[in-house]
Amino acid sequence: MEKKIRIIIGKTGIDGHWRGVQSVSTALKNAGVEVIYLGATTAQTISKAALEEDVDVIGLNIGASYEQVEKLMTIIKENKIDNILVVVGGTIPRTDIQLLKNMGVNGVFPPGSKLSDIVQFIKSNVERK
């Protein structure tokens, strides 16, 4: 039997809006991905949980600054766990997409991204990693 892809999802901010993250999570579950949802989290907490849960993917819902993304990517590099795919989504200006990719983020999904594209990206890139 094929091993299910596991993703851990969290929000880097403290605001708690759930509509966007819920739609992505639902699409992933419908596509057979196992989703663990952390709610509001920090780089430190989600990276620790990612290791404990042995996930393939970390998904971050971001807004505001990229402080937590930067911290997460540093932790990933330091701990040599870059086999974990990192995808981020949220209100991200077009001009910042490259900036996030330069930090080492694998996939960036701004508003209006198709849910099927997010699912497809995760499925094909987890296989490759």
Which residues make up the interface to another protein (CB under 8 A)? 12-19, 21-23, 25-26, 29, 37, 39-40, 42, 63-65, 67-68, 91, 93-96, 110-112, 114-116
Q: ∠59-51-16 over CA atoms, to 5°? A: 35
When the beta carbons of 77 and 114 are compared against another protein, the nearer one is 114
Nearest distance from C-beta of residue 22 to another protein, angstroms: 5
Sign of CA dihedral 72, 56, 100, 65: negative
Nearest distance from C-beta of residue 13 to another protein, angstroms: 6
CB atoms within 10 A of CB 98: 10
Distant-in-sequence, close-in-space partners of 14: CB < 8 Å, separation ≥ 6: 40
When the beta carbons of 50 and 109 are compared against another protein, the nearer one is 109
Nearest distance from C-beta of residue 83 to another protein, angstroms: 26
Nearest distance from C-beta of residue 86 to another protein, angstroms: 18
Residue with tokens 């819902």: 61
Residue 90 identity: G
